[in-house]
Amino acid sequence: MVEPFKHLAWDDFRLVKAIADARGLPAAAAQMGVNHSTVFRRLGQIEEALGVKLFERHRAGYALTPAGEEIVAVAERVDADITAVTRKLVGRELAPAGELRVTTNDSLLVHLLTSLFAQFREAYPTIQLDVVLTNQALNLSKRDADVAIRATDKPPENLVGRRIANVAWALYGRASDFPDPETQRNADLATLCNRTWVSLGDNLGSLNVVRFVRTHIAPENVGYKVNTVLGLAEAIEAGLGIGHLPCFIADARPSLVRLQPPDKQFEAQLWLLTHPDLRHNARVRALMDFLAAEMSQCRRYMEGDLI
């Protein structure tokens, strides 16, 4: 007979939570960096020692029992406590040294941030940057990233930071498709709406430029969709159609021309964001102060002025 546990180890709680999150053993094993058989065996040992089933096994996956829900609730509380104390301790560092995780998207990185990151590394060689590219908002509360650089009109309320600029958008086409400068300057929007368009995908459907295409452009005229702004710029350059782009990206490409002036309704605010517990962290403060100073010099460029 197996003796009951005097207490569960933290790894046991983590394992049960991983299975619950993944709704199965293979994905949970991958998340924890162990093999499937290890997770299966360990779960069996935990359930046998507790004398209670933590999961119901179904074809659709593993579903928590009431006992399993109690285990997961404790795991989530402990995980939140660990994350909170880690943030606070990291925030007490005095010297700007160590790794700093930054999240942004590919278009900001390629057209604006890479050169600034290079300058920052020269100024702060003891800070290592780990840049995560995604269009999704990472959870700064859980330390998925330390600093977020995002174009958004509604930054999360649980974050703090500073607005750097308004990112202007305008309608662009391939220059070789619009060789007459007079035609470019006087392009009529109603006529342009009948041309072939390219657009951002539904994953970015909250952007006003995507809503414009859905509202004003016939579906059969939207010949190409892509889920990143950088991919959209490449598509317009390749002649797949016309479309809206941030001016600081399109104006840096000689093969693209503006077909309409920047439209205020498409503007997005550019923010530097961090978690409140990290705002006094030396690494975070060094990067945010540096980027704010350098990016302020590019404000007119980002806001659509042709310089």
Dihedral over Cα of 67, 73, 74, 76: its sign: positive
Give the start-to-end residue ranges of the domains of the chain.
Answer: 10-90, 98-167+268-302, 169-266
Residue of 251, 248, 258, 271 whose CA lies nearest to 168: 248
Architecture of the domain defined by 169-266: 3-Layer(aba) Sandwich (3.40)
Buried b (16+ CB within 10 A) or exposed e, 193-218: eeeebbbbeeebeebbbbebbeeebe
pLDDT tens-digit map of 234-280: 999 999 999 999 999 999 999 999 999 999 999 999 999 998 988 88
The domain defined by 98-167+268-302 folds into D-Maltodextrin-Binding Protein; domain 2 (3.40.190)
Residue 205, pLDDT above cutoff 90: no
How sure is the predictor about 19, in pLDDT bands with cuts at 50, 70 and 90? very high
User: Would you say how long the chain is, in residues?
Assistant: 307
* CATH class of the structural domain 10-90: mainly alpha
CA distance 60 to 129: 40
Most confident segment among 31-40, 42-51, 119-128, 273-282: 119-128
Q: What span, in angstroms and rounded, lies between the C-alpha atoms of 96 and 5?
A: 45
Instruction: Please report which confidence band the pLDDT of residue 286 belongs to, taking 50, 70 and 90 as the band edges.
Output: very high
Q: Residue 283: pLDDT above 50?
A: yes
Q: pLDDT by residue (tens digit) across 41-92?
A: 999 899 888 889 999 988 878 999 999 999 999 999 998 888 878 777 765 5
Domains 10-90 and 169-266 share a fold: no
Least confident of 98-112, 135-149, 240-254: 135-149
What is the per-residue DSSP string for 10-54? HHHHHHHHHHHHHTSHHHHHHHHTS-HHHHHHHHHHHHHHHTS--
Q: CB–CB of 38/29 below 8 Å?
A: yes
Residue 155 has pLDDT above 90, yes or no: no
The radius of gyration of the chain from alpha carbons, rounded to an integer in Å, stands at 25
Helix, strand and coil in the chain, % to nearest 5:
50, 20, 30
153 pLDDT above the threshold of 50: yes
Q: Which amino acid is at 7?
A: H
